[in-house]
Amino acid sequence: MARFKDVFRLAVEVVPRRSGEGGSAVPAGVPAAVLAWYRTHRRPLPWRASKEPYRIWVAEVLLQQTRVDQAAPYFERFLARFPDLSTLARARTAQVLKVWQGAGYYARARRLHAAARVIVRQHRGELPRSVETLATLPGVGPYTARAIAAIAFGARVMPIDANALRVAARWTRETRDVGRSAVRASLEAALERSIPPGDAGEYAQAVMELGETICRPRSPRCGVCPVARSCRAATELARPELLPHRSPPSARPHVRGAVVALTLGDRWLVQRRPDDGLLGGLWEFPGGKIEPGESAEASARRELQEETGATAGPLRALGVVRHAYSHFTVELHVFQGAPRRRPRTSARRRWATLREVAGLPLPRATERIVEMLTAAPQEVGDEDAGRPRRDAGRPFSSPERARSPAGPRGSPRPGPGPRTGGRASLGPRAPRPRREAPRDPSGAGRSPAARAGSEARR
């Protein structure tokens, strides 16, 4: 009987209400209590040291898909190299990508750099203050525009990330699917109506801080929550963690790929991805997706020839690199060998020592392959090892085969994900982030990983 009651209670709690129920208003007294709690308990995060708009903008872009605890070292490294907007605007894209390396989702860095140049060129080097103008900048969606406007300029708008969405759904006992735009808009309006007089940016940060540290997704700490007595989920439901309600996500596909580390003397063949698309502008080793019925080595040889025009002698299997992207996972089978027929070279494909390769902006998966090559003895017969160094970098007349930025044939296309519970991607020497769900607001070449198929906040 007790078990039946538990099942019945669970069903009652998660049944969506009819349109118009839930999400109506934030309970009275909640905003003041949350602000008082935040002023005492907020974490000393580096982007909170000042309200300088440039710092807040960089932090908001970084936090779109990187966990708070992982974002801090990347933020400090980026600000050390590009301390102001004009310095960032003058930098080369490759420099920006190298400093960003490890934070993942490199389109953020490219768009941040492009936006800096737009601001210098069109806004006299000053970050716009309005949500509408901010949203016209590259890489700035509705959430990021609202966050910058509220936190940097005190605009009375409410940025809604996954934390704020969860908090609002529990405060108001919103049981409809928060993935629906109408439900999200209802919760956003409820939070905006609850903004108290004074600093709207501080209130926005307080709500998100509560969601990150107290009103957690799976194990909310209702016993220490400053507004538990006013929260409808905490007072009316036996299991408040069942909110918010979301449709279940689809499973991520898994793709197998093969990569060739082609060596000529002490140099290795690397190529630069197209500037647009996944991991745009980063350098990698040739490789791609293993087709059905194809062995890993056969795939490696085929991809090498298709991409570069080269063929290889004996190939030695070095191991497997596994990596996870937001929309799929990959396993990359890595081979090492020397060329029989030399590859086509160009400004986007060249020979480089491992030290030179390590100095290029690399995806995390490629970085791990470099580590693998550094540790592995070169046992493969190097047919050109004794040739003069000038042979290694000699260009070839054949034009470079055009490469699609869409990724490997048949591979999924990952896109920018929403900022949610914590996410990051590829990484150098800074701490490597865990891959969970991205936090972005707006819900908004081929690397081996991509071709092979590649939150939280305050």
Cα 458 to Cα 67, 72, 75, 129, 202, distances in angstroms: 9, 10, 13, 21, 11
The rounded distance, in Å, linking the Cα atoms of 113 and 99 is 12
Whether residue 331 lies in the annotated active site: no
DSSP at 386:
T
Are the beta carbons of 177 and 247 closer than 8 angstroms?
Answer: yes
Both tokens assigned to 7:
């099942």
The rounded distance, in Å, linking the Cα atoms of 156 and 204 is 10
The rounded distance, in Å, linking the Cα atoms of 16 and 245 is 8
DSSP string across 161-223 = -HHHHHHHHHHHT--SBTTSHHHHHHHHHHHHHTPPSS-HHHHHHHHHHHHHHTS-SSS--GG
Q: Which stretch of DSSP H or E encloses residue 300?
A: helix 296-308
The single residue of 60, 202, 212, 303 carrying the catalytic annotation is 60
Say which amino acid occupies 74: Y
* Residue corresponding to tokens 């392959």: 369
Longest Cα pair distance anywhere in the chain, in angstroms? 84
The rounded distance, in Å, linking the Cα atoms of 248 and 251 is 9
- Residue 230, SS3? coil
- Give the residue numbers annotated as catalytic, written as ranges: 60
